[in-house]
Amino acid sequence: MKEKEIERYLVDRVAAMGGMAFKFVSPGCTGVPDRLVVLPEGKVGFLELKAPGMKPRKEQVHRIRQLWALRCCADVADSREAVDLYLAGLSTGVPVPARMPRMLETEARR
């Protein structure tokens, strides 16, 4: 499965939930997550999409950590299942174990 397919899945799932998944580009600010996800009732989060097994770049890790420090819902998804977990956490407000910390642990071992 390619990153583009996972991104299409996210956009379709968010639309089915009554929300929007904006392509997020911030000129002059590297490493921002790919998508800004907006769900009904003002639930907003950020999601970086990757091909299966791919890891976020150093700048992306930095930006996601900054978003966490601001108490934003931000994560990385490299599969449909990871997208579903992210959306479940964002929509309910109940934290779902994030993939990002595990990716950081793996990255730290290199």
Alpha helices in 1-110 (DSSP H): 3-16, 58-69, 80-92, 100-108
> pLDDT at residue 108 above 70?
no
Output the average pLDDT for the chain: 89
Is the pLDDT assigned to residue 99 strictly greater than 90?
no
Average pLDDT over residues 13-38: 96
Give the type of residue at 33.
P
- Considering only CA atoms, which of 68, 62, 75 is closest in space to residue 10? 75
For residue 84, which of 14, 24, 23 has the smallest C-alpha distance? 14
Cα gap 12→20, rounded to integer Å: 9
Cα end-to-end distance, the chain, whole Å: 25
Looking at residue 110, its pLDDT comes to 40
pLDDT given at position 109: 41
Q: What is the mean pLDDT of residues 4-28?
A: 96
Span 56-76, mean pLDDT? Answer: 93
Sheet holding 20-23, edge to edge: 20-23, 35-39, 43-49, 73-77
Q: Is the pLDDT of residue 31 over 60?
A: yes
* Mean pLDDT, rounded, for 18-22: 98
- pTM for the model stands at 0.86
pLDDT of 44 above 80:
yes
Question: Can you name the residues that pair with 44 across neighbouring β-strands?
Answer: 38
Residue 94's pLDDT is 76
